[in-house]
Structure 1
Amino acid sequence: MNRSLVATVGVCAAVLAAWALSVAQSVFAPLAFALFVIAVVWPLQRRLQLDLPRLVALAITMAVTTLVIVGFLSLVAWAANRVGRFIVSDAAHLQALYASFAVWLEEHGVALAELWTGYFSADRLIRFVQQLAAQLQTAVSFLIVVFIYVLLGLLEVGDAYKILRNWRRGRLGEVLLVGGARTASKLRRYMLVRTLMSVMTGLLVWAFAWLAGLPLAAEWGVIAFALNFIPFIGPFIATMFPTVFAVAQFESWQMALVVFACLNIIQFVVGSYLEPRFVGSALSISPFLVLFAVFFWAFLWGIPGAFIGVPIVIAGLTFCEQVPSARWVADLFGQPSDSS
């Protein structure tokens, strides 16, 4: 078959697959998250099943998983609420700063009031609130669907393992079994390292904000900890928020630049120096591919996609290692395991 035809068909198939994933986000996004959660918590479920009935072990595993997720979301909500309340309580100071900034812009030929009127209105504010409420409702529904998928998936992991182990129709069973086991192991390691690095980032941001005299130091640390789970985009947002806040609080561009530079140094040291040494070669992925994965899956699925994008890439490269015809993909964008 003509190679150009094969390439064209492959590109068309990829575009159609991306379109299907985007249209069916409500189906595939919770499924991807559920598989990720199952891969992370399955060792706990398997260990508990050695001493307890399967349903009791499942109940404990789901309770622990739910507690961790609820605790994480509650911590983020606490930090966001504290920052919001501080902004409301400091509204007079912010209004005065905005007025002085508007005067400075008008002196340089920029009518900030006209720009504000053009982009912000009561109707747009109402639509924004409505969209925010709809997104919160969607997030709750998303978590419920993920919970159900995880619950049912943990019950079927053992049966799926037996089916794949006894597969007699080609190498598909072996590929899925070995690839699934290695993917789960890599995802657990990825999540462990990402959590440790996020905790370290949060502590360093808190310490710097406290030493710099920036209000809400603990809250900025929590926000940096939470956003660090989203590569590239998360650290950038976690850096910009305190910088903008520093402009308002210190009323000094020099101090804001110091805050911006120091926060970026923290993100660089943790993300580009320490994290690769903890991860090692087993999870080594091309930085270009990581950046592409974050933006691509964020484009398809929004914030959930930005979070799950890198684990999807890890899974894809791991399965490519098991298929000789696709191993070049893992060699090009990642680091194959030594045992493959």
Structure 2
Amino acid sequence: MSGGRAAGVLIGIIAAIAICAALSLAETLLVPIAFAFFIMAIVWPLQKALQARLPKMVAVLLTLIITLAVVGSILSTIVWGLGHVGQWIFNNVARFQAIYVEAADWLESHGFVMAGLFTEHFDVRWMLRAVQEVSTRLNSLVAFLIFTFIYVLLGLLELDALRSQVARLERRDTSAFLLAAGADVAARLQKYMLVRTLMSAATGLVVWAFTLAAGLELATAWGAIAFAMNYIPFIGPFVATMLPTTFALAQSGWELALVVFVCLNVIQFLSGSYLEPRIAGKALSVSPFMVLFAIFFWSFLWGLPGAFIGVPILIAALTVCAHSASAKWVADLLSGREAPEAAVY
């Protein structure tokens, strides 16, 4: 590798690290903006329909109220479910402690000598505090939502003006690119959330029915948690599977826990890996590897909000690449689809 090329690669790596550091440091500023753009893309059809019948300001306010009600209901569902789980932990601390001591004894009898050390320092109240911490963080989202919806309000009011200014750009190719890419991004994000909502509702209903039939306590809470957590790919279903499994272990032992673990994994697999891709179709074709990377990358930078917004950011970026002649290969490469075979003459 020549010296100039090596220097260019090094500069690129340094620039990427600097950008990631800036994104992380500016989390408080950028996360509400990212969510605001995402929400505007989702609710624009609703505002457009209302605006055709009502004054613009009234349409925007109604759109915000409806959106806030939907977001608030989902967050309330998580808080309600985790609240019931926390109460159940508080009432059954002795069960978890006994299970842990039994497991530690079994491990020690099979040569795992460190198990005794963990037993001395283990306290089931850690689990209760973890559940309470999650609930507290969810309740603290009020300030975040206020800033986000202020951005949404201002953005929706200016959206028509922005589109008209873009349409009047002197460079017609740039204007056409921005309008087409923006419309396509909004359409794909709307489809993403529609599919995600349908599959989340179906998953929550099936999890509720299964846990109820299996005799697991808090069946309604498990269904509610599965519904709400399914909005976060990979991480949400994992949490929604491991929590009921742990409680099945405390309630009835290893047999029920194993049944719950296997069945919930089957439910999550059919929902996320089989049905959802077929419902979404080619419009949301993204490499599963890149989906997982986006979730962990953005959660590393922005925490739980990043885990949610990571996939929409990836979809938006690949959609923009698909509309660019010079970057279309990036969208094709990361689509997760096989390249069409060359025609044989």
Shared fold by TM > 0.5?
yes
Alignment check: 8 A CA contact 2:36 2:151 kept:
yes
Query: 1 CA distance for matches of 2:32 and 2:228?
Result: 20
Q: Secondary structure at the match of 1:324?
A: coil
In structure 2, the partner of 1:151 is 153
The answer to whether the aligner puts 1:115 opposite 2:113 as a matched pair is: no
Q: For structure 1, list consecutive stretches of 5 or more residues without a partner in the other structure.
A: none
**Within the alignment, does 1:283 sit opposite 2:269 as a pair?**
no
Distance 1:176 1:14 in 2: 25
The one of 181, 199, 202 equivalent to 2:201 is 199
**CA displacement 1:157-193 (0-9 Å, x = unmatched):** 1011001111114633322221111000000000000
Alignment partner, residue 261 of structure 1: 262
**56, 59, 66: which is aligned to 2:58?**
56
Superposition CA RMSD, Å: 2.8
Change (3 A) 1:107 1:217: same
Question: Does the alignment pair 1:90 with 2:89?
Answer: no
Name the structure 1 match of 2:224: 222
Is residue 302 of structure 1 aligned with residue 298 of structure 2? Answer: no
Aligned with 1:230: secondary structure? Answer: coil
Matched with 2:333 is: 332
**Cross-structure match for 2:38:** 36
Query: How far apart, CA to CA, are the structure 2 residues paired with 1:228 and 1:121?
Result: 27
Q: CA deviation at 1:322?
A: 1.8
Paired residue secondary structure (1:63): helix
Letter in 2 for 1:115: F
Question: Relative to structure 2, which stretch is displaced further, 267-276 or 82-91?
Answer: 82-91
Q: 8 Å contact 1:232–1:291 — kept in the other structure?
A: yes
Q: 1:239, 1:260 within 8 Å by CA — same for their partners in 2?
A: yes
Q: CA deviation at 1:4?
A: 4.9
The count of corresponding residues between Structure 1 and Structure 2 is: 333
Offset from partner CA, 1:191-245 (integer Å, 9 cap, x none):
0000101111111111111111111111111111111111111111111111111
Q: Distance in 2 between matches of 1:133 and 1:329?
A: 39
Mean Cα deviation higher: 269-278 or 131-140: 131-140
Give 1:248 deviation, angstroms: 0.7
Residues 230 and 121 (structure 1), Cα distance of their counterparts in 2 relative to 1, 3 Å cut: closer
CA–CA separation in structure 1 for the residues paired with 2:173 and 2:21: 30
Deviation string, structure 1 residues 274-309 (Cα, Å, up to 9, x no partner): 111100011100111101000100100010000000
Identity across the alignment (%): 51
Contact 1:281–1:335 under 8 Å retained in 2: no
Determine the C-alpha separation between the residues in 2 that align with 1:130 and 1:284.
Answer: 37
Letter in 2 for 1:57: A
SS of the residue corresponding to residue 217 of structure 2 reads coil
Distance 1:120 1:92 in 2: 10
In structure 2, relative to structure 1, the CA distance for the partners of 1:3 and 1:178 (3 Å cut) is farther
Q: Does 1:178 align with 2:183?
A: no
When the two structures are superposed, what TM-score results if normalisation uses the length of structure 1?
0.89
Do the aligned partners of 1:283 and 1:335 also contact (CA within 8 Å) in 2?
no
**Equivalent pair of 1:282/1:335 in contact (CA under 8 Å):** no
* Distance (Å, rounded) in 2 between the aligned partners of 1:130 and 1:277: 37
CA contact (8 A) 2:82 2:131 kept: no
Q: Secondary structure at the match of 1:325?
A: coil
Q: What is the CA distance between 1:256 and its match in structure 2? A: 1.6
SS at match of 1:280: helix
SS at match of 1:171: helix
Shift in alpha-carbon separation, 1:113–1:265, aligned structure 2, 3 A: same
Q: Does 1:45 align with 2:47?
A: yes
